Structure 1
């Protein structure tokens, strides 16, 4: 039977009762009628290859490499090998990280309840097929389009599609669409459009209003790359012209090699690679701490956060609510109240509170005839029972009149940290009988009704509430005729690591805002227990709606109770309007809107699927104490990438200054490509790789790009000036006379000149450049650690060996008489001193984190 056979009148079990068979599912998978979405957690292998190989800078270096190879000076093409190594490392690192992240994302992929072969099964959302009978419960995301067969007070948040955040009630026969989420109630429907045919995937690509996490690093690096690209465009013709003037008589090979050296120095060949590797390695590192990074820039984003908004339940407390007791009010029989409470808790779509009550209070077996499911906006739930009337359970502050004396007793219980709920009776709930058509199929005819307690109550509950349940679900105020019957107390275990985690954030000048739907007195008591300076907790129902007034209230208050989902969102907006970078943690569907709008959304691993879907970070084991690890990773990424970017930009600035002065003085560019390959490898490439992945605890300070430009450009200019001075001095005292350059230093044969005197000016310039850049590296490596000292010493030793070992001297064309060495070192020392003075000047002006 196919989806066309979805019937309502044929004899025997119907599709809406039994769902598809295994054979029908296989048939639809074979036809491609499956809910595979275009969204992926990472790039494909082909995309990884293209992103690491087919770049504009690789194209520039590749063209220069080809030209150098044509000259026959193969040693000067060494930068081509570095290019291949960089790309290979980038591909390998991203592919390995992709495998780990994809595997973890698969393990935590969203799931959907479907009825197949008459049984309720949980399958990956991507495996839902056309015609599947889908069961929805609170917190689920709607995975595909369809028309409701049954509804038990089903309310959907359709903000992703309509922009309206108010929950929308849906009755049997209503169309529902993917991209929405269940905020209350339950229901069943057939998937009539899946995958690319679903509404959310047919509309514009931003229909879900997906917003990528802002990354200051990526924005700054992209800006730098634009600047550098334009510099290369301008410098290329200038370099060719100046080198033609200065070494053109030595042959076109000499012009090509010197010009290539100048342009190679302008290309930041490893900057993008090391930035990407830093992000990826952070994400992989966090997976070991049970943190799933759904957007890589979120690692950096948390380091910029200065306000964390968190819920009490699941964050400060373990999230496992335990039933403590029931206090019957005077005039009410305790056993009767207990039976009413047990009947309310006997709900297959129970939230955490009802589940905790149900685990301790047995069900009396009453027949449910109508239901008002719990809503975080309404803050109460209710049900009517055949022959027993209506019962209500919810927040006392909402259900009790403002002048009710019982409020004082509730406040007393809440002040001890308990959660307090009011259970009462009400004649305002309609006792809706189970309608014959729907209920009959759910209770009598449906095989799902015979699959244990859950299946039985689910079939009866979903189908049997009818129109009355939906009407009551829209009630914005407590039901009429409510008579308080008892107070229910529940307890939550405070997380043992909550105090330490909050103390960490306080030490890092990160403000905490506790935003909870619970009684503000209860929330305040828990907050005090974990060491927060609570002040006076505020009942969110008393807050103004005016954005300016709300901003002031949110700024000066730490603890808020009775906060609605829309208020949580408004709090985030108010803090952002005040210039704060906001992180929001949560686990319930009532947190989804706030998580979506926060700069960084953090969902608990045991939270609702709708919440995890919009979060940038998911704490897989639900431990709030992992956030300091994420913050530390973010700081490491920001600090280390800034160091790396400084090194590359300083090299670019040095090359540009050398190009300009070579043109001004009509002298050859001071270096051969092989010289810059040596300098780049030992002072930038290898050190940058380790610095990008090493620990870094420096606090975040705004102005990433400004700091790079303010240090790297003048430091690179200093290095360039030192190089030109050293080259001119060496040329005037060493090397060969100008009128003998062609005869003794020409490169017509395509090989390096064999007269070692021709090597001396370049040798002196290289020594000076190494001294200045090693000092730049030392400045950027501060504060020093043992491993950094070892790294720096190793690089200096390798550079020294390049001048001492005969084979290395010949390879790099170095010839360094002792006077030339001391002269070059002296010029380099002056340049290093200027870099140190620049660093200290900028450090004195920099704002303190």
Structure 2
């Protein structure tokens, strides 16, 4: 792009200082004010605040201890999310690919936020367009606008044409002037019209939101019924208000949202320590559900970059090749082929160097050739066709030196000795390209991306050494152990991909399939083949997208990893897109997760963190919603019967802290390897509804049995509290299974703390406990044992009991 130096110097420093900057909110985290609002101004906080005020006015201050939940929830939620925000923002800055601009006649790199209106922005393959603009220079520039239009075919751009933010360059090079930046840019306006951010689907988030919505609607009528019954049947207004508040407060799963937020936030921080950027928080849930992982070979199984190995003349003995047909049917004239086939008559090194130096942003192959051939003196290109993953070749017309093409042998050749030699080399895992010369001097044009019209003569085979990642084998073994199916999909030669997959011990690697033979118009058939095979070569960018869709249609949760522009479409459509840190800006822009350190070995930690978050939140949801359902049932029965509520708010505060609050904090952050399965909401309901109903019936039965004796109301309530603790403690035991040493210690510690509370006078006095009637307490224990047995049976029959 040297021509830009004279004709387009770009903005001056003074112009930059006064121009509008490209300030766009990052999608990885919300603002501090939004975090404060989300954690303070909630419906639950409002309800609990009103109930707290009622207790302080009409009851005893000890019964208002539940009000501290508002403060604790808000503080913990704010601290954890701010902590996660700082981690995300720091990683997002690292992840932001610099933008190449020309200012004061000099090319420089600036932060995306420092791009200004009128900037002259330079483009190369893989560059993401962050602002709108007008093209002023193009050298074979092709832009993929599929993320905006849905059309997968790249668009050739010429000077004077418009380019839009949200697209990305896939081939060639060029430059454009920024005409719209910041929130005026096309992609930003689209995002704002749809939503603040595009978030990955979260069954967990949707499930929790539904729980809260339905519970809110239940609280209103049941709470009104409870208040009415308590006021009608109690001569003491304070006691009536206290009983009603006890039922309503217990119905609210105030810690469920908090615990979910903490689990997500801690997951983000933990992954951040491994230099893993989670660009969409719900993506953590996707990590847990993945059962198919699609891997692009280049940049994932193999490290970035490669080394030039050998340049092998196509006919080292000087013999003329046979008249080979081209893939498009054009024959090669034997006499012409003989004249061009002499090894000493072909400037192989110069042609390779000239082709490798065409692009100002070379790919890994071109960089490897450049390292061995740093210059190509005297070779000036006329018409050029840049390399793209869809074409799998590049070429140029060098005037008197001829027209040359470099690309995949199975794309440029069809049969013959040279083709067979290339296949033999590829079968060893070597990357092989063929250098060809066009026999038609006017074979190439800038506007056409098809192969030259005349015959192509193979001149040399070029081989490259690929660098297998040292951590690839162990990482692949981990996924096999975790029952995550692997699909290796690559644009490279099928034999080469198969050889690398087999060498890494991937099952089915020897049965690699050439993607060009796959059906394009039968998604069901394609899905069957994908399910039964593991390794695929010669996959086009559009096919990668079709692979993801076909796997999803068969009920799989698909994760896709990639690093090149050919992976962008598949990354976007996958349930979880994972980009490598060394990948193209476009790839990192559409992925939900970016491995900034470019370490394939980070993937097991990424998946493990997702599983930890989701499995533990489901455990915690079982606890909170069991509490909600026993409170709903108790409130309904008490409201209809018109009797006193069986416990006070302070009793609920004590039991909730010991069997839900404290354990939930530890359970939410515990390690686990369980893969999450769909059906979060039905599974939680199948556990919580029968458990909650049985807890409520047991508490009411204990209270009724004690109330019919000669004991005081405080003793009756103490018997009900004992039953409430024992039944919900058993729910905790079932939820915490399998019981390793620390889980067993935790549930035992909660039981010890409750016993201590019953034993120490000042704690008994604070929480209004009076275990003075042994018969009441023994009956309560007996009812609790029966209820615990029935709870175990019910959740076992529902299929939710953990082994």
User: Normalized against structure 1, the TM-score is what?
Assistant: 0.88
When residues 724 and 315 of structure 1 are mapped into structure 2, their CA distance, relative to the original with a 3 A threshold, is: same
DSSP-derived class of the 1:364 partner: coil
1:373 is aligned to 386
DSSP-derived class of the 2:797 partner: helix
Are the aligned partners of 1:345 and 1:363 in contact in 2 as well (CA < 8 Å)? no
Residues of 1 paired with 2:195 and 2:407: CA distance? Answer: 33
Tell me how far 1:575 sits from its aligned partner.
Answer: 0.9
Runs of at least 5 residues in structure 2 that lack an aligned partner in the other structure? 316-340
2:727 is aligned to 772
Number of residues of Structure 1 aligned to a counterpart in Structure 2? 770
2:514 is aligned to 539
Are the aligned partners of 1:370 and 1:430 in contact in 2 as well (CA < 8 Å)? no
Residues of 2 paired with 1:207 and 1:396: CA distance? Answer: 45
Residues of 2 paired with 1:85 and 1:702: CA distance? Answer: 32
Q: State yes or no: 1:359 paired with 2:338.
A: no
DSSP-derived class of the 1:190 partner: strand
1:18 is aligned to 9
Residues of 2 paired with 1:53 and 1:207: CA distance? Answer: 26
Are the aligned partners of 1:768 and 1:824 in contact in 2 as well (CA < 8 Å)? yes
Are the aligned partners of 1:310 and 1:512 in contact in 2 as well (CA < 8 Å)? yes
2:469 is aligned to 495
Q: Deviations over 1:685-715 (max 9, x none)?
A: 1110111011122232322111111111111
Correspondent of 1:517 among 491, 495, 502: 491
2:644 is aligned to 668
DSSP-derived class of the 1:110 partner: coil
Runs of at least 5 residues in structure 1 that lack an aligned partner in the other structure? 1-7, 432-467, 736-756
Tell me how far 1:429 sits from its aligned partner.
Answer: 6.4
DSSP-derived class of the 1:272 partner: helix
2:329 is aligned to none
2:112 is aligned to 125
Residues of 1 paired with 2:136 and 2:675: CA distance? Answer: 55
Q: Deviations over 1:103-161 (max 9, x none)?
A: 11112123210011222111111210011111001000112222211101000001122
When residues 836 and 305 of structure 1 are mapped into structure 2, their CA distance, relative to the original with a 3 A threshold, is: same
When residues 209 and 827 of structure 1 are mapped into structure 2, their CA distance, relative to the original with a 3 A threshold, is: closer
**What are the equivalent positions in structure 2 for 1:120-519 lying under 5 Å apart?**
120-203=107-190, 205=192, 211-247=198-234, 249-250=235-236, 252-330=237-315, 331-333=341-343, 336-347=347-358, 348-365=360-377, 366-401=379-414, 403-428=415-440, 430=442, 470-472=446-448, 474-475=449-450, 477-478=451-452, 480-519=454-493
Residues of 2 paired with 1:208 and 1:143: CA distance? Answer: 18
Runs of 4+ in 1 over 4 A off after TM superposition: 206-211, 427-431, 843-846
Residues of 2 paired with 1:608 and 1:128: CA distance? Answer: 19
Are the aligned partners of 1:398 and 1:478 in contact in 2 as well (CA < 8 Å)? no
Are the aligned partners of 2:27 and 2:197 in contact in 1 as well (CA < 8 Å)? no
Are the aligned partners of 1:169 and 1:470 in contact in 2 as well (CA < 8 Å)? no
Are the aligned partners of 2:83 and 2:269 in contact in 1 as well (CA < 8 Å)? no
Residues of 1 paired with 2:207 and 2:797: CA distance? Answer: 23
Correspondent of 1:814 among 769, 777, 783: 769
Tell me how far 1:808 sits from its aligned partner.
Answer: 1.1
Tell me how far 1:504 sits from its aligned partner.
Answer: 1.6
When residues 124 and 279 of structure 1 are mapped into structure 2, their CA distance, relative to the original with a 3 A threshold, is: same
Q: Deviations over 1:587-639 (max 9, x none)?
A: 00010001000111111100011111110111112222211111111111111
Q: State yes or no: 1:717 paired with 2:693.
A: yes
DSSP-derived class of the 2:766 partner: helix
Are the aligned partners of 1:148 and 1:190 in contact in 2 as well (CA < 8 Å)? yes
Residues of 1 paired with 2:82 and 2:390: CA distance? Answer: 44
Q: Deviations over 1:229-252 (max 9, x none)?
A: 1210221111012212322x12x2
Residues of 1 paired with 2:436 and 2:239: CA distance? Answer: 94
When residues 381 and 593 of structure 1 are mapped into structure 2, their CA distance, relative to the original with a 3 A threshold, is: same
Residues of 2 paired with 1:666 and 1:349: CA distance? Answer: 79
Residues of 1 paired with 2:157 and 2:495: CA distance? Answer: 35
1:443 is aligned to none
Residues of 2 paired with 1:209 and 1:416: CA distance? Answer: 49
2:319 is aligned to none
Are the aligned partners of 1:153 and 1:469 in contact in 2 as well (CA < 8 Å)? no
Q: State yes or no: 1:65 paired with 2:52.
A: yes
Residues of 1 paired with 2:67 and 2:342: CA distance? Answer: 87
Correspondent of 2:788 among 810, 813, 832: 832
Are the aligned partners of 1:300 and 1:633 in contact in 2 as well (CA < 8 Å)? no
Are the aligned partners of 1:399 and 1:478 in contact in 2 as well (CA < 8 Å)? no
Are the aligned partners of 1:200 and 1:207 in contact in 2 as well (CA < 8 Å)? no
Are the aligned partners of 2:499 and 2:510 in contact in 1 as well (CA < 8 Å)? no
Residues of 2 paired with 1:787 and 1:206: CA distance? Answer: 49
Tell me how far 1:578 sits from its aligned partner.
Answer: 1.4
Q: State yes or no: 1:789 paired with 2:744.
A: yes
Are the aligned partners of 2:686 and 2:800 in contact in 1 as well (CA < 8 Å)? no
1:738 is aligned to none
Q: Deviations over 1:40-80 (max 9, x none)?
A: 32111111111111111111111111111111411111111
DSSP-derived class of the 2:166 partner: coil
Tell me how far 1:17 sits from its aligned partner.
Answer: 2.6
Are the aligned partners of 1:612 and 1:618 in contact in 2 as well (CA < 8 Å)? yes
Are the aligned partners of 1:429 and 1:479 in contact in 2 as well (CA < 8 Å)? no
Residues of 1 paired with 2:173 and 2:430: CA distance? Answer: 29
Are the aligned partners of 2:128 and 2:586 in contact in 1 as well (CA < 8 Å)? yes
DSSP-derived class of the 1:733 partner: coil
- Root mean square deviation of aligned Cα: 2.1
Residues of 1 paired with 2:190 and 2:626: CA distance? Answer: 46
DSSP-derived class of the 1:375 partner: coil
Correspondent of 1:699 among 661, 667, 675: 675
Tell me how far 1:519 sits from its aligned partner.
Answer: 0.4
Segment of structure 1 superposing worse, 785-794 or 346-355:
785-794
User: Normalized against structure 2, the TM-score is what?
Assistant: 0.93
